[in-house]
Each structure stands twice: as structure tokens, then as C-alpha cells.
Amino acid sequence: MKIAVVGATGLVGTVMLKVLEERNFPLTELIPVASEKSVGKEISFKGKKFAVVNMETAIAMRPDIALFSAGGGTSLEYAPRFAEAGTTVIDNSSAWRMDPSKKLVVPEVNGHVLSIDDKIIANPNCSTIQMVVALKPLHDKYRIKRVVVSTYQSVTGTGVKAVEQMMNERKGITDGPMAYAYPIDLNVIPQIDVFTENGYTKEEMKMILETRKIMGDDSIRVTATTVRIPVMGGHSESVNIEFENDYDVAEVRDILTKTPGVIVVDDIANLKYPMPMDAHEKDEVFVGRIRRDESMPNTLNMWIVADNLRKGAATNTVQIAEYLVSKELI
């Protein structure tokens, strides 16, 4: 089992390697891949050193699976070439997510849609992943009509440059690299990605469109506001869900408690609720503040938190690979 990690020296690629090691993924050969400027650098994996190679070398090595985290342009150019060489590509960029010929997968939610013929598989947006993990069991039980979500997203979702900007601002350094148009420390920026013609950002539209595709139900109405905040542990979401059918709050908690990949932290008497610092470096989706919306019938409020670099990116990618191996789809 030869595994290539494309973008191995980047923020998400580094976490992918960590997750592969932690979960003891059954690989026999690791192929770290990065841009030409990183070729020859060594990365450590399970106590061994592996030299970074370029795209052409990796394609020629014909890996069984390639985990991509190198940006949309790179994925559009190279994912088909890996696929032509017989490699199954799991891509973490937005390049293939809404392509009707490609599967968009969160294993706990819709892993069953995968087949041996899928050679390019899309990993969803980080904010979408954590939300649908919590929504799917509730949709199965009560049928979701509408979702209103506001996100509070970590600077790590932007990358190393954003983390550097925030830490520089905390130290009073004003001439460092700027990932955002405004200061992020002691601030909140109500824009993630560029604005589209309808006034929503691309990030907001990703959540709207991807949720329907993953859930397999275009009737679900979704509206989103995505916001960048100065934290590093993970993304948080305030989610308001209108169901077709009424529900019992205790039953909702019970359903979520029994959902694989979800941890319910909802004990307001003891001030227990999910926070990014609790989700940091964890693979689960944390859900709390579960309560009835008293302004609308059949409507629920929840607070959802997850580490955006792990379940929101690297871990979900590796879990797709694990699913493929377990179902003998490779």
C-alpha cells in the first residue's frame, strides 16, 4: 500500500502525516510530495526519514492512494494525472467538490456512496464537515427543512501566514506578513474567502451547496454567515435547525451521544460546553448548548466545535482512505 501525501510540507499536509502515524494506517511505502523548492527536504514518519519528491516522480511511482492538500490549482492539474496512473486521489481543496461526477464524502455520513470506480474523491470544506456529522442523524430522525449557521473560524483555516499575523500582532510587530486585509487579534472579520455576486462569500456558498450534496437532499435550505476570529484550536458554529417533525430535546441528546464521531458536552449547570481549546488536536465533533428555539416550532439550537485541521481536513481525508481500504475499494 503506497501512499502519497501531496503538499506534505504544508499546514494540513503535516497534520495528515501525523494522523496517518497516529491511526497506524496500513501503508508499506510513504511518498511525501511538495513543490520544487521543497524537493530533497526530509520529513520524519514513524521514526524514519523520507525525502520529498516532485509531482512527476510521485506519479511515476504509481501510489495506491494520493492524499492531496496543495490548493485547487494543483489539484485540477495533477489529480487527473494521478488518476490516469491508477491512483485513487482524495483531494482536500475545493477543486472537485461540486463536480457532479465526483463524490463529496464524510465517511460517517455518506461513505456508502463510494465505489471502486471513484478515482478522484473530494474532501468537503472544514466547516461543512463538522456540521453534517451532527446534522445527519437528526435529519434521518426528524427531517431537516432549514439550517441557519454562523461560524466562528480559527486562523489556522487560512494557513501559516495567518497564524504568524495574529501572533505578530500580539507581540506588537506591525511589519510582518498580512494574511488578512485587517488586524485579526482583538478583532472579528465577517469575511472568509471572496464575495460572490449574491453578497455571500465563497465560504458561505460552500457550506450551503456542500451540505445538500453530502446529505443527499437538495430540499434542505441552508443559509450561512462565516466569520474569522482570533483563535487557533478549531472552528465553532452556532446552528439553528428547523425540522419537519417535532422532537424531544432529551432524545436529540441521546441520538447525538450515540452518533459515531460525536461527543456531547452539554452540562450548563456545571458550565460545560464545547470550546475550540477543548477540540484542539482531537478528531471528534463536539456538540453542546442543545436547546429548543422558542421562537419557532420544531426548531433546535446547537453549538458545534471541531479541530479544523484534523476532522475538518486531515483526519477526514485519512478516514476516507481507511474506508476505501476496509471496503476493498482500492
Report the pLDDT averaged over residues 233-261.
Answer: 97
Position 24 scores a pLDDT of: 97
On whether 54 is known to bind a ligand per the annotation, the reply is no
Catalytic, out of 112, 139, 235, 280? 235
Residue 107's pLDDT is: 98
Residue 9, annotated as binding a ligand: yes
CA distances to 75, 169, 252, 268 from 179, rounded to whole Å, are: 22, 12, 40, 37
Within 13 Å and on the Cβ side, how many CA atoms surround 156? 25
Output DSSP code: residue 195: B
Instruction: List the Cα angle 213/215/216 in 5-degree steps.
Output: 60
Please provide the CATH number assigned to the domain covering 2-124+313-326: 3.40.50.720
- Rounded mean pLDDT, 112-126: 98
Asked whether residue 75 is marked as a ligand-binding residue, the answer is: no
Span 254-310, pLDDT tens digits = 999 999 999 999 999 999 999 999 999 999 999 999 999 999 999 999 999 999 999
Measured between alpha carbons, how far is 188 from 195 in angstroms, rounded to an integer? 17
Q: Give the helix/strand (H/E) hosting 303.
A: strand 299-306
Residue spans per domain, the chain = 2-124+313-326, 127-308
In the chain, % helix, strand, coil (3-state, to 5) comes to 35, 25, 40
Nearest to 152 by CA among 272, 16, 289: 289
pLDDT (tens digit per residue) in 203-227: 999 999 999 999 999 999 999 999 9
How far, in Å, CA of 166 to CA of 231, rounded? 9
38 is in an annotated binding site: yes
Helix and strand numbers, DSSP H then E, in the chain: 10, 14
Residue 35 labeled ligand binder: no
> Can you tell me the distance from the alpha carbon of 321 to that of 330, in angstroms, rounded to the nearest whole number?
9
Determine whether 126 is an active site residue. yes
Q: Mean pLDDT, to the nearest integer, of 72-84? A: 97
Mind giving me the DSSP string for 287-325? EEEEEE-TTSTTEEEEEEEE-TTIIIIIHHHHHHHHHHH
The answer to the question of whether 153 is labelled as a binding residue is: yes
Using only C-alpha atoms, what is the Rg of the chain?
Answer: 20
Give CB contacts under 8 A, 24+ apart, made by 175-183. Answer: 179/155, 180/228
Residue 75's pLDDT is 97
CA distances from 157 to 148, 166, 223, 234 (A): 21, 13, 20, 8
- Asked if residue 228 belongs to a known ligand binding site, the reply is yes
State how far the Cα of 2 lies from the Cα of 31, in Å rounded to an integer.
Answer: 7
11-45: per-residue pLDDT in tens? 899 999 999 999 999 999 999 999 999 999 999 99
Residue 126's pLDDT is what?
97
CATH of region 127-308? 3.30.360.10
pLDDT bin (cut points 50, 70, 90) of residue 248 is: very high
Q: Please check if 11 is assigned to a binding site.
A: yes
Question: Annotated catalytic residue: which of 112, 126, 139, 280?
Answer: 126
Is the Cβ–Cβ distance between 158 and 249 less than 8 Å?
Answer: no
Q: How is residue 284 written as a grid cell?
A: 471528534
Contacts of 59 (CB under 8 A, 6+ apart): 78, 81, 82, 85, 87
Beta carbons within 8 Å of 117's beta carbon, 6+ residues apart: none
